[in-house]
Structure 1
Amino acid sequence: MPKLKEDYTKQEKINGVVYNMSPSANYRHSIVNGNIYGKLREGFKGSLCLTFMENLDYRYHVEENDDYVIPDIMVICDRKHLKGSAYTGVPRFIVETLSPATALNDKTIKKDIYQNAGVSEYWIVSPKERAVEIYYLEDSVYVLKYFYILQDDTEEEGYNADTIITLRDFPHITMALEEIFENVE
């Protein structure tokens, strides 16, 4: 019997354990993801790379098991690893946007998964704090390279809303810190 819409639950399977990701995160989560996705989609127009937002399973150990995660945002450039609703290659860039239910996994287990898989750049974004942590893979280990907390009041010391963030592997793609958190109060 097919699932009814109200029976649908979003899940991830990590180390054989199924994590229920329902109910959905609050609206700020979606706003931030949409803001980043829009900049990436625009930047990759005409490219072989594709950007996915919350809708593609990443099967990171396909040769060992059927575990998968669903990154909030994922950029892939090797399309031969796209099959159905899953990707089995190495993404070039991943963003996880924190919500109370997933924050611990995003900062620990999933960060380790992406590091071990060889994902070059990983962002952890907090809509609540309006903060971005940017990790680069260096010698097979993630190194926190940048950490920003949006200060968009021009009267305050540390104003940084116009700070430009550039993707390391894709220097033609940039976004201002204020663009990531546009419409997030």
Structure 2
Amino acid sequence: MGNPYNISEEKIDDISLLEPEATYSYADYLKWSFEERVELIKGKLFNMSPAPRTSHQTISMNLSTEIKTFLKGKSCKVFAAPFDVRLPTKPDDPDNKILTVVQPDICVVCDTNKLDELGCKGAPDLVVEILSPSTAKKDLENKFELYEENGVKEYWVIYPGENIVEIFELKEGKYATRGKFVGSKTVTSIVLPGFELSLEDLFEE
């Protein structure tokens, strides 16, 4: 089988030099300097969508602002992409053993010990993904399972074209849907008690 970690000693500035079926680690990821944004999920390479659409960015800014305002003076922190979240198998795994690094559209981290200059090492408490045509399958399947396995307490999936928010809560290690919310509904968060968000404000252009 050989070495499962395909670690190059040199910087790579052309994504075409990568082997799509190879297994990569965070150590490899740190050596990549090409323009394309990518994520690693269990060692496999996933291309991110091109520059997000206007509706995507509007929703991201609206939600980030609402959460940031709510968190003023509190210990939890909110981050918007691009922001690397590394999900190691063990907390002390070195870079060449970390096979997953993703960039959620928005995440909230309440354990500040997980934060460093490179991003977050460990599961955020809340993750939000805003669907786009090219990432919907990844967000609804690969990332759903990934966040569930790694203990992300709450996962929001936002459907921009339909103005829908679906919220999943982690219960006994599995996600249970709290429902799909649409229209003039107000949604809340188990991770952020007291936080309320009007969907009209979220989808306001």
The 5-angstrom pairing of residues 92-171 of structure 1 reads: 92-150=125-183, 161=184, 163-171=185-193
Closer/same/farther in 2, CA of residues 118 and 11 from structure 1, 3 Å limit: same
Q: Find the counterpart in structure 2 of residue 18 from structure 1.
A: 45
Whole-Å separation in 2 of the counterparts to 1:32 and 1:87: 23
Cα distance, 1:145 vs structure 2: 0.8
Cα drift, residue 165 of structure 1: 0.9
User: How does the TM-score come out when normalised to structure 1?
Assistant: 0.85
Shift of 1:94: 0.6
* Maintained 8 Å contact 1:52/1:74: yes
User: Contact 1:78–1:89 at 8 Å: present in 2 too?
Assistant: no
The answer to whether the Cα contact below 8 Å between 1:75 and 1:93 also exists between their aligned partners in 2 is: yes
Please report how far the alpha carbon of residue 149 of structure 1 lies from its aligned counterpart in structure 2 after TM superposition: 2.7
Asked if structure 2 preserves the Cα contact closer than 8 Å seen for 1:14 and 1:69, the reply is yes
Supply the distance in 2 between the matched residues of 1:17 and 1:90 (Cα, whole angstroms).
19
Contact 1:9 1:22 in 2 (8 A): no
**1:66: how far off?**
3.3
Identity of aligned residues (%): 31
Q: Which residue of 1 aligns with 2:102?
A: 69
AA aligned opposite 2:50: P
Shift of 1:90: 2.3
The yes-or-no answer on 1:181 pairing with 2:199 is no
Q: Which runs of 5+ in 1 are unaligned?
A: 151-160
The question of whether the paired residues in 2 share the 8 Å contact of 1:133 and 1:144 is answered with yes
State the partner residue of 1:155. Answer: none
Whether contact under 8 Å (2:88, 2:122) holds in the other structure is no
> How many pairs does the alignment contain?
169
Superposition CA RMSD, Å: 1.7
1: CA distance, partners of 2:70 / 2:103 = 22
How far apart in 2 are the matches of 1:167 and 1:112?
20
2:203 corresponds to which letter in structure 1? F
Q: Which amino acid aligns with 1:57?
A: D
Residue 50 to residue 102, structure 1, CA distance change in 2 (3 Å):
same
Match of 2:54 in 1: 27
Task: Calculate the TM-score normalised by the size of structure 2.
Answer: 0.77
